Structure 1
Amino acid sequence: MSSDTTDDIYDPAFVKDVFDRCSDQYIAFSWVCSFGFTERWRRQCVEALPELAEGATGYDLMAGTGEVWPHLLRRRPDLATITAVDISSGMHRRALERLHRHRAHRISFIEDDVLASQLPDESADFVVSTFGLKTFDRDRQTLLARLVARVLKPGGSFAMIEASDPKGWLLRPLYLFHLKTVLPLVERFLLNGAQDFSRIGVYSTNFGDAGHIAESLAAEGLEVRFRKHFFGCATSVSGRKPLT
């Protein structure tokens, strides 16, 4: 396995291995260790999407276990299709087991590195991503912004959210203690994650916030709104591709 350096942890093969190994416990880990905020933030991310037309089609990038799908279908029950893209076969399997069964006619899955996938130009009315941005370094975030701009139809919308470093918040030291000390202990004694969940904490602290992806999306000509959630413990970007 690759060494645990900053460069190595963003390699697609490394990311796939991490999430394949922790996929069985990922849902429980994210719920417990975020005190349920991840579900609230997923809902807020979907709510931030500009209005979706009837019969819209789109992509869930770095889809993980598919936990955003119910929020999308609740917001717009007449969505035509959601194409989920994720590099991890383990996360794909968990998504199929838990959420896909009654939505098979509405959801398709591409198991691939998002940046290597051949998604067609102007093929999506919407793009959404929840808690996958942290696995991209800044160069890859720039490439992701280019992909989002390319696959969106004119007038199409996007929303993405990620756990972030709440710089300037009075309780930030406590938050970082939770992320860097408490979560590895939870993993070690309760989840047997072989350091994979603590590595997710490393991704989160390295990520900072969604400021860079916001700048990259704007540089691609998209209309962008940046937003902080719960004192900056999560940050999101949302917006639209201009019609012309």
Structure 2
Amino acid sequence: MSIEKSKPLQSIYEPEFVQELFNEMSLTYERMNTITSFGFSNRWRRRCVFELNIQPNQVVVDLMTGMGETWAYICQRIGPSGTLIGIDFCEGMLRYADQKKRKKQFSSYTITIHKQNVLAGTLPAQSADHVVVSFGLKTFNTGQIKQLAIEIQRILKPGGQFSCIEVSVPKPALLRILYLFYLRQVIPILGALFLGNPQTYRMLGVYSTQFKNSKQASQLFQDAGLICQPTSYFFGCASGIVGHKSQ
């Protein structure tokens, strides 16, 4: 895929563009994520899941599940009697998720994968005890985040919980300058080494810069009728939203 530097910002949120972008990155995404975040991405995913009071037998929906990077933490909580539903529209990512599902580590768990846009609205209403969204918010514009919040509100059972995590732009000036330099300059170089295409991974910096942090998204979730609050991790290098649906 050829990503033009002059690509209009509004078009980078088109589902077809995001789908193609992550299909191309799927060969190296998990490894790149771990390396470029110095392992923090895995810690933040764990923290995202552990914000929730997940119990055995419950149903957890992992929206934008990617390669199933949160599954180990979710399965640890739901046990063999629970159900994990992963949803994503990126075929390249789901190919690896399906391979992961077949590994011995997950053989005793009930995991269902759906290839579809998370905004499609096909899951039954009030069917999930918990919803997890890890590192997917930045690829949505404001209107899409509104839709996502409404969808989460729809599929959660009364009292059900949700947790989101996303790479963010920290507020401390020096850290922000260094972090943005890393996102915009260093990660594309690593992308060129791993994938041969610096423009593809440069888009992650573009998305993160436009997203800023989860504060605005948290307000949109509240507007959708969810009770929530924004969270911040590692001086704002990651932020999230934790909340629940009223009884």
Q: For the residues of structure 2 that align with 1:189 and 1:216, how far apart are their CA atoms?
A: 38
State the percentage of identical aligned residues.
38
Q: 1:14: which partner in 2? A: 17
Structure 1 segments, 4+ long, off by >4 Å, are: none
Q: For the residues of structure 2 that align with 1:95 and 1:155, how far apart are their CA atoms?
A: 29
Q: Deviations over 1:23-56 (max 9, x none)?
A: 010011101111110000001101111x223310
Indicate which of 156, 160, 164 corresponds to 1:156.
160
Q: Secondary structure at the match of 1:52?
A: coil
Q: 2:27: which partner in 1? A: 24
Instruction: Give the deviation of 1:170 after TM superposition.
Output: 3.2
Instruction: Give the deviation of 1:186 after TM superposition.
Output: 1.2
Q: Give the paired residue count.
A: 242
- Is the Cα–Cα contact under 8 Å of residues 125 and 156 in structure 1 kept in the other structure? yes
TM-align CA RMSD: 1.7
Q: Deviations over 1:80-132 (max 9, x none)?
A: 21111101000000112234434365111111111124121111111001101
- Is the Cα–Cα contact under 8 Å of residues 73 and 79 in structure 1 kept in the other structure? no
- Is the Cα–Cα contact under 8 Å of residues 227 and 243 in structure 2 kept in the other structure? yes
- Is the Cα–Cα contact under 8 Å of residues 57 and 79 in structure 1 kept in the other structure? no
Q: For the residues of structure 2 that align with 1:61 and 1:24, how far apart are their CA atoms?
A: 20
Q: 2:182: which partner in 1? A: 178
Q: 1:113: which partner in 2? A: 117
Q: Deviations over 1:205-224 (max 9, x none)?
A: 11111112211111222221
- Is the Cα–Cα contact under 8 Å of residues 134 and 204 in structure 1 kept in the other structure? yes
Indicate which of 47, 60, 64 corresponds to 1:44.
47
1:91 aligns with 2:88: no
TM-score, L = length of structure 1 = 0.93
Instruction: Give the deviation of 1:193 after TM superposition.
Output: 3.6
Q: For the residues of structure 2 that align with 1:134 and 1:187, how far apart are their CA atoms?
A: 19
Indicate which of 62, 81, 84 corresponds to 1:82.
84
Structure 1: gaps spanning 5 or more residues: none
Q: Secondary structure at the match of 2:163?
A: strand
Q: For the residues of structure 2 that align with 1:123 and 1:136, how far apart are their CA atoms?
A: 24
Which residue identity does 1:14 align to in structure 2? F
Q: 2:55: which partner in 1? A: 53
Instruction: Give the deviation of 1:169 after TM superposition.
Output: 4.5
- Is the Cα–Cα contact under 8 Å of residues 164 and 232 in structure 1 kept in the other structure? yes
Structure 2: gaps spanning 5 or more residues: none
1:204 aligns with 2:208: yes
TM-score, L = length of structure 2 = 0.92
Q: Deviations over 1:63-93 (max 9, x none)?
A: 1110100011123324521111101000000
